[in-house]
């Protein structure tokens, strides 16, 4: 997923701020357009209807906190291989 890509998840319009894939896993940092909330999510995938889902997401009011969580989740993900 490219930075700046916009998509829908559970009625939320989101923009991708950072995304990294490793094998079958990925971690993303997104911003919800309606209120600016930041979300880090694991294993984001496109559904058959064109929307997207993820395994779990953490929500943050500030970009700084979301970036810290994104980097932590990225580091954890990179410790494992498929």
Per-residue pLDDT for 24 more than 90? Answer: no
Q: Could you give the count of Cα atoms lying within 13 Å of 2 in the half-sphere of its Cβ?
A: 2
Inside any domain, residue 1: no
For position 71, which CATH number holds? Answer: 3.10.450
Q: In the predicted model, is pLDDT for residue 81 greater than 80?
A: no
Q: Is residue 62 in a domain?
A: yes
Tell me how many domains the chain contains.
1
Residue 42 lies in a domain: yes
**CA torsion sign, 75 to 28 to 52 to 12?**
positive
Q: How far is CA 34 from the centre of its chain?
A: 16
Could you give the 3-state DSSP secondary structure of residue 26?
strand
pTM for this structure? Answer: 0.90
Residue 62 domain boundaries: 6-78
């Amino acid at each position: 997923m490219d930075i700046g890509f916009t998509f829908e998840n559970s009625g939320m319009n989101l923009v991708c701020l950072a995304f990294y894939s490793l094998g079958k896993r990925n971690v993303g940092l997104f911003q919800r357009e309606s209120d600016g909330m930041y979300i880090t999510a694991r294993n984001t995938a496109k559904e058959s209807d064109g929307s997207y889902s993820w395994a779990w997401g953490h929500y943050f009011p500030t970009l700084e906190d979301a970036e810290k969580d994104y980097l932590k989740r990225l580091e954890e993900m990179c410790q494992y291989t498929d």
